[in-house]
Each structure stands twice: as C-alpha cells, then as structure tokens.
C-alpha cells in the first residue's frame, strides 16, 4: 500500500524518532496493562477494584488496536498516519508478515475495541458472559511476534525499540519469574496513587 508521505515522516531520523516515541510507547503501554491484567485487583474497595480492572481492559483494547492498525491499516489511511509499511522499501510489508486474515485473534481484538470500547454501540456486551473476556495472552503473543519481526526486518528503527522488544521476547520465554514481578511493581504504584 504505497502512498504519498508527508516530508517530515519520510526521512530516516523522522522514522527512527517516531519508532522510539510512539511505536515503543504503544508497545510498552500494551504489555504493561496486559501484565497488570494477570493480577487480582484488590484496591481496598470493590468499586475501586472494578474501576481499575476496567481501566486496564480499556488500556489493553486501546493500545492493541493502535498496534494492530499500525501493522494492518484500514482502507482509510491518511497521509499523516504512520504504519509499519512506511519502514520498508516501497512502503510494503515483507511477505514474512502474516496477513490480517492469518491473525484472527488480532482482527477480533480490533473489532471488539471498535465496538465495545471506542464507540457506544449495540454490540457492547452486558453482564459478564464468558465471551466478554479478552484473550489478553493470545493478543500479547501475536503482537509480540509481529513486533519482533518488525524490529528485525524494518529500516530506521530506533535501537531502544529493538532492545525493548528483544527484552520482552526473552521475558516471554521465562514468564514465570519476570512478568509477575513487573506487574506487581506496576500495581503497587497504581495502588499508591489511588490512596492519595
């Protein structure tokens, strides 16, 4: 999907800076809230625990959707939108990237974020049916795979983004020790803020 680009996004330093300031931020936020989702929400009151859990779910949906749109843009891409293909010659993702048709978990997550989080629609689910649960670990695994492929093959990637993704991949292999510690630290910070 090659298209005309705004000059500030064409040059090498613009893309490199964008990968650090925005792509890394979206990845960091998604994985941070996904880690938090694994913990029980004990905030001193049921209401606060419910609010915190919903904030985390909304963060998962929002940041997942931003990353999914980065890799799999819709037909309405604007000239100032930055997408993964911008980091490749001719503005096309390499054939090593799976198509959105092969990433059904991500397509479903994007659709749910659109219908259940971003807009007031009749597609929102009421109550707590099993299908309302977000497959956070599946979404995280697919996004991590895409991000890993991206930082290994794309041009003009900031080294800090690459290092962050490599660290996440290594931690994914040793989830039993690294993820709970980080999630517990994040949760402790949120609990301190909530107490103020």
Characterize 76-101 residue by residue with b for buried, 16 or more Cβ atoms within 10 angstroms of its Cβ, and e for exposed.
eeeeebbbbbbbbeeeebeeebbeee
pLDDT (0 to 100) of residue 1: 45
Question: CA-CA distances (angstroms) from residue 39 to 12, 103, 179?
Answer: 40, 27, 10
Residue 122, Cβ density class (10 Å: 0-12 exposed, 13-18 middle, ≥19 buried): exposed
pLDDT (0 to 100) of residue 50: 83
Q: Average pLDDT, stretch 135-155?
A: 94
In the structure encoding, which two tokens stand for residue 117, read together? 């989080």
pLDDT (0 to 100) of residue 68: 97
Q: Average pLDDT, stretch 135-146?
A: 94
- Give the percent of the chain with pLDDT over 70: 83
Write down the mean pLDDT value for the chain.
Answer: 84
pLDDT (0 to 100) of residue 179: 53
Q: What are phi and psi of 40, to 5 degrees?
A: -70, 145
Instruction: Tell me the Ramachandran region of residue 148: left when phi exceeds 0, alpha when psi lies from -120 to 50, beta otherwise.
Output: alpha
Q: Average pLDDT, stretch 127-132?
A: 80
């Amino acid at each position: 999907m090659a298209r005309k680009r705004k000059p500030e996004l064409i040059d090498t330093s613009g893309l490199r800076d964008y990968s650090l300031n925005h792509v890394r931020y979206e990845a960091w936020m998604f994985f941070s809230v996904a880690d938090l989702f694994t913990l029980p929400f004990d905030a001193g009151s049921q209401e606060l625990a419910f609010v915190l859990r919903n904030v985390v779910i909304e963060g998962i949906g929002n940041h997942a959707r931003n990353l999914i749109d980065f890799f799999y843009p819709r037909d309405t891409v604007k000239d100032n939108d930055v997408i993964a293909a911008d980091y490749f010659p001719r503005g096309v993702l390499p054939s090593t990237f799976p198509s959105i048709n092969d990433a059904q978990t991500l397509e479903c997550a994007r659709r749910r974020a659109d219908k259940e989080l971003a807009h007031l629609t009749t597609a929102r689910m009421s109550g707590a049916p099993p299908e309302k649960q977000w497959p956070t670990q599946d979404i995280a695994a697919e996004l991590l795979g895409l991000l890993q492929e991206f930082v290994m093959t794309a041009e003009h990637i900031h080294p800090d983004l690459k290092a962050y993704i490599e660290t996440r991949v290594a931690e994914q292999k040793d989830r039993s020790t690294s993820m709970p510690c980080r999630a517990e630290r994040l949760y402790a910070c949120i609990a301190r803020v909530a107490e103020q």
